[in-house]
Chain A
Amino acid sequence: DAKTTQPTSMDCAEGRAANLPCNHSTISGNEYVYWYRQIHSQGPQYIIHGLKNNETNEMASLIITEDRKSSTLILPHATLRDTAVYYCIVNPGGYNKLIFGAGTRLAVHP
């Protein structure tokens, strides 16, 4: 399995964009990048995933570098409710096992 590296923690001011980086330098051609988040005392929530193209949905945008060795999750206008641990996961398409790393603890401040 490809491994990911994320900063342990980050801060963001409310209303500003939160940019969460993820390094996955050993990613293989058939592996997708998935992002989840876990708000305190809740189960993880799927956010977005992508293969090579940038992706956007109602929650966030995912920017994947051209060499696919890193990606950035962007929350365009962070709110206090976005305070959570954010997990970047790399998995092959069709892979059944979902392993979480340590993630990035994002704190959004007023």
Chain B
Amino acid sequence: SQTIHQWPATLVQPVGSPLSLECTVEGTSNPNLYWYRQAAGRGLQLLFYSVGIGQISSEVPQNLSASRPQDRQFILSSKKLLLSDSGFYLCAWSPRQSTEAFFGQGTRLTVV
């Protein structure tokens, strides 16, 4: 069966520090991959999605970037965190040609 791993579960980082969040999927190949952010009390914002290795679509201009170095690995990065980057970050995957998505447990990031 398919599983999605996302870590760490919680993270506290100082302003100006770098960020790297990793997400991996097991049990499937060639998935669509997504990064979402949810600020406190707000809705889910799609940040990036990818349909293949090296193919990244950015939905919102911001301080973050994403990469997909392997088929089932999706990384969210920042060179210098801002206070406004705080939030709940979720990775998800869906089969190709489907919007039935499966989400990881999320990373709660607090920038201080």
* A residues lining the B interface (CB < 8 Å): 32, 34, 36, 38, 41-46, 49, 89, 91, 93-103
The reply to whether A49 and B100 form a contact with Cβ atoms under 8 Å apart is yes
Which stretch (B12-20, B69-77, B101-109) binds chain A? B101-109
Give B106's nearest chain A residue, CB to CB: A43
Picked from A32, A41, A102, the residue with its CB within 8 Å of the CB of B99 is A32
Chain A residues, Cβ within 8 Å of B104: 43
Distance in Å: Cβ of A52 to nearest Cβ of chain B: 17
Picked from B57, B59, B103, the residue with its CB within 8 Å of the CB of A44 is B103
The reply to whether A44 and B99 form a contact with Cβ atoms under 8 Å apart is no
Q: Say which size band chain B's interface belongs to.
A: 20 to 34
**Majority SS at the chain B contact face:** strand
Known: A43-B103, A43-B105. A94 touches B98 (CB 8 A): yes
Chain A residues, Cβ within 8 Å of B44: 38, 44, 100
The reply to whether B43 and A43 form a contact with Cβ atoms under 8 Å apart is no
Chain B residues, Cβ within 8 Å of A46: 100-102
B25 interfacial contact with A, CB 8 Å: no
The reply to whether A95 and B43 form a contact with Cβ atoms under 8 Å apart is no
- The answer for the CA separation of A102 and B44 in the assembled complex, in Å, is 8
Distance in Å: Cβ of B101 to nearest Cβ of chain A: 5
Chain B residues, Cβ within 8 Å of A32: 99
- The answer for the CA separation of A103 and B41 in the assembled complex, in Å, is 13
The reply to whether A98 and B46 form a contact with Cβ atoms under 8 Å apart is yes
- The answer for the CA separation of A41 and B101 in the assembled complex, in Å, is 18
* Contact mask for chain B residues 85-108; partner A; CB cutoff 8 A; 1 contact, 0 none: 000101010101111111111100
- The answer for the CA separation of A86 and B46 in the assembled complex, in Å, is 17
Distance in Å: Cβ of A84 to nearest Cβ of chain B: 13
B81 interfacial contact with A, CB 8 Å: no
Q: Which of B57, B102, B103 has the most CB of A within 10 A?
A: B103
The reply to whether A97 and B49 form a contact with Cβ atoms under 8 Å apart is yes
